[in-house]
Chains A and B, each alone.
Chain A
Amino acid sequence: MRKHTTRRLLGALAVVSTLVLTATACGGGDASDGGAGGSSPKDVEAALAKGGKVTVWAWEPTLKKVAEDFEKKYPKVDIELVNAGTGDKQYTALQNAMAAGSGAPDVAQVEYYALGQFAIGKSVEDLSSYGARKYGTTFTSGPWNAVTEEEAIYALPMDSGPMAFFYNKKVFDKHGIEVPTTWDEYVEAARALHKADPKIFITNDTGDAGATTSLIWQAGGRPYKTDGTDVTVDFGDEGTKKYTATWQKLLDEKLVAPISSWSDAWYKGLADGSLATLSIGAWMPANLTSGVASASGDWRVAPLPQWTKGDKVSAENGGSSLAVPKAAKNKELAYAFTEFATTGAGASSRVAAGAFPATRADLESKAFLDTPFPYFGGQKANRIFADSARDVGADWSYLPYQVYANSIFNDTVGKAYVSPTTITDGLKKWQEASVTYGNDQGFTVNK
């Protein structure tokens, strides 16, 4: 009898305390100074104390360790990492889940080029009130610009991809060819290499929207301008012209291999030396080390060739952020994980696992700069990447519907790779299609 009463009492107590906890959590939310109804850092603390489950959609492998560390630090929180596909496949799934109103994750990995699409659709949470505002100087300026828009912070930068020039030193040495420092020299090197051995190409290209926009970015082109819903698309500026003139030469003379990036043929080409260089983001070493282990020692890193001799301009290629969808079930916990994974110990553990940092502290640390890469013959490659991160050209922006634009790149610019169409014509068609689509979606494009 007595036992019964005790148990009932305990049960009632549990119910009451839960109610109290929930009530305080809600109260905190209402009283927060976050403006647009967002939660405050205090709510995040309360959510962490209460615990719960956070579903994270991400393909970045280094997050696994971060999730384990987070669970160790906050034992009441359960992180579920889901690889819901990479890149645009995941964005499609994300859009569908948001439209369906169920099944959206609490945290999603979103590349910088795609973030605008979710931000403009107000489908990701503005993280300013949660405490993200204090990270203004934590991250390097490129990635920080990519996740902020006016007063809102739509995500926290997870990594970045300042571009560098990766080249197969063995191939260059064998044929006695100098490593190019300008794009004109690059074309010369392409000719020389292909002449020395017809099986060797300076690089591969079958039309890659990310690579093309990055090189236009480096050349000074700013084809996209966005001001709210007013959008301008213009591939007629000087920077774009510099890019097309050079790249058209490579295509006309058949100096780039018709191999798609990331295919098995691509990996094979990187391994056997038939693809001699890559101009790509600083995250590439991890891919080379695991995917092309047999070419270890052959490759080196150099600064990206310049459009004007003596310049020091670079661009970003790839890189992604962690965002909290508006449809997330537990936004406070989601923010806590996002913060943990992108700053402080979480960021450092990801850098140790091979990710390229977006945080100033990691990028400037002596340990980071002095890390030798056995894959690059002991070269301290991070110094080149860090310089590149500093030299990224300012004021670049992507379209607010860049995911769609990239998906039609092959139907427009891609034609230049398989038919007599020129890249300039292709870009014109790409521009027209982007303008039409934008206007159909309710943007004011080129008006």
Chain B
Amino acid sequence: MTTSLTSTVSGSGTPSAAGSPGADTDAKAGTRTLTRTRTRTAKRRKRPPHTPLHPRPSVPLTLVTGLVLVYTLLPLAWLVINATKDQNGLLDSFGLWFAEDSHFWDNIGRTLTYDDGVFVRWLLNTLMYVVAGAGGATILAVLGGYALATYDFPGRRAVFAVVLGAVAVPGTALAVPTFLMFSNMGLTNTPWAVIIPSLISPFGLYLMWVFAAESVPTELLEAARIDGSGELRTFFTIALPLLMPGTVTVLLFSMVATWNNYFLPLIMIKDPDWYPLTLGLNAWNAQAQTAGGEAVFDLIITGSLLTIVPIVAVFLLLQRYWQSGLAAGSVKE
């Protein structure tokens, strides 16, 4: 029996190079040796020959890429530069350069303490929505995707059709019906009204489904079953590690979506105590538009900068899993 297991596995090729942790390290070590040799060769020879892997540098392409790079980074640069200005500096100085004196740390302190530190409350709310909403969405997507890819049951095709259909419906179109439904249940103006709709991610489910079908070989599961492993154990010890890159991808997507979600909380939540950062910053902005209201553009800009820091950090931390996830299956057969 054991022999048949090994032979099946090797027969189907190395199960997704990026999937298992062992293969991952091997691949990395391989790349490292490769790079080292390449650098050495480059030093020896002044002009390396242009191969498909090292095409001739193209000037127009570099220019276009450079332009796109500037276009992408400009808003970020603007944000960082203007987070150093106070309200006066914002109104008086040139937008793309620093004002005379920097108020950066002062701005951060004031953003965190303004209006009894309501920004911190909004930050914690957003974290809660992301952990509960995006985390829950990922767990559901992984479980559902795995089940749909590996188990055969009546109605599977119907589920497939429903999920595909659901991917096509924009969240905005569902917002009003969702609001009415939650209103009838008396859940509007509570965090549940944001968390529960965030749990549903048809795209995540579809992605996990496709990913699970690709990266968890049925033969492997059959072998595990024959060896006497229960379904739960098979899922946690064999399938889940294989599904890791896909899981991280879905997690990243739903985290970004929940972190940036504006419309759903906007219609669901009226109590500023439950605002996420997106709504909170908008409320600060609206403050400048009323009689007697205080214009705090400096705090809004600093707050926006603080708002994107966690999401950038998450991206940087998770992107290596994501990259290997995107590459999975691309060079299999």
Contact = CB atoms under 8 A, between A and B. Distances in A.
Given A82-B270, A86-B286, A103-B270, A271 B293 contact: no
Contact of A61 (B286, B289, B294): B294
Given A267-B297, A271-B92, A294-B88, A60 B286 contact: no
B159 to A, nearest CB: 34
A355 interface: yes
Interface in B199-217: none
Interface of B: 87-88, 90-92, 183, 186, 188-189, 270-272, 283, 286-295, 297
B297 A82 contact: no
A20 interface: no
29 contacts: A59-B287, A59-B290, A59-B293, A61-B292, A61-B293, A61-B294, A62-B292, A82-B271, A83-B272, A85-B286, A89-B286, A93-B270, A100-B183, A103-B189, A103-B270, A159-B292, A161-B291, A262-B289, A264-B297, A267-B295, A271-B88, A271-B92, A272-B92, A283-B292, A286-B291, A287-B294, A293-B87, A294-B87, A294-B88
Given A262-B289, A272-B91, A290 B297 contact: no
Nearest to B271: A82
A355 B91 contact: no
A104 B117 CA distance: 27
A290 B291 contact: no
A87 interface: yes
B294 to A, nearest CB: 4
Main secondary structure of the interface of B (DSSP, over half): loop
Nearest to A59: B290
Contacts of B88: 271, 293-294
Interface in A284-327: 284, 286-287, 290-294, 318-319
The 5 closest A-B pairs by CB, nearest first: A291-B295, A294-B88, A271-B91, A262-B289, A283-B291
A393 interface: no
Given A62-B292, A283-B292, A294-B87, 14 more contacts: A60-B292, A61-B293, A82-B270, A84-B270, A85-B286, A86-B287, A86-B289, A161-B291, A262-B288, A287-B291, A291-B288, A291-B295, A292-B91, A294-B92
Given A272-B92, A293-B87, A267 B292 contact: no
A354 interface: yes
A102 interface: yes
A72 interface: no
Interface string A247-287: 00000000000000010100110011000000001011011
Contact of A294 (B91, B271, B283, B290): B91
Contacts of B272: 82-83
Nearest to A63: B292
Contacts of B91: 267-268, 271-272, 292, 294
Interface string A86-102: 11010001000000101
Nearest to A292: B91
Q: Which of B183, B286, B290 has the most CB of A within 10 A?
A: B290
Contacts of B291: 161, 281, 283-284, 286-287, 318-319
Nearest to B184: A100
Interface in A102-151: 102-103
A101 B273 CA distance: 22
Contacts of A319: 291
A356 B24 CA distance: 69
Interface of A: 59-62, 82-87, 89, 93, 100, 102-103, 159, 161, 262, 264, 267-268, 271-272, 281, 283-284, 286-287, 290-294, 318-319, 354-355
Contacts of B183: 100, 102
Contacts of B271: 82
Contacts of B87: 291, 293-294
B291 to A, nearest CB: 4
B285 to A, nearest CB: 9
Contacts of A93: 270
A24 to B, nearest CB: 31
A118 B289 CA distance: 23
A79 to B, nearest CB: 14
A83 B292 contact: no
Contacts of A281: 291
B44 to A, nearest CB: 58
Nearest to B89: A294
Contacts of A267: 91, 288, 295, 297
B272 to A, nearest CB: 6
Nearest to A101: B183
Contacts of B293: 59, 61, 86, 287
Contacts of B289: 86-87, 262
A286 B295 CA distance: 10
A283 B291 CA distance: 6
Nearest to B189: A103
A350 to B, nearest CB: 9
Nearest to A354: B292
B280 to A, nearest CB: 10
Contacts of A262: 288-290
B241 to A, nearest CB: 47
Contacts of B188: 103
Contacts of B295: 267, 287, 290-292
Contacts of B270: 82, 84, 93, 103
Given A102-B186, A294-B91, A294-B92, A287 B297 contact: no
A87 B286 CA distance: 10
A286 B288 contact: no
A87 B290 contact: yes
A271 B295 CA distance: 13
Nearest to B180: A100
A294 B87 CA distance: 8
A64 to B, nearest CB: 9
A272 B91 CA distance: 8
A86 B282 CA distance: 12
B36 to A, nearest CB: 53
Nearest to A262: B289
Contacts of A268: 90-91
A100 B179 CA distance: 12
B61 to A, nearest CB: 38
A82 B287 CA distance: 13
Most A Cβ at <10 Å: residue of B88, B287, B292, B294 = B292
A59 B290 CA distance: 8
A2 B173 CA distance: 65
A287 B292 contact: yes
A159 B293 CA distance: 14
Given A83-B272, A294-B92, A286 B292 contact: yes
A354 to B, nearest CB: 7
B288 A83 contact: no
B266 to A, nearest CB: 10
A240 to B, nearest CB: 25
B22 to A, nearest CB: 55
Nearest to A85: B286
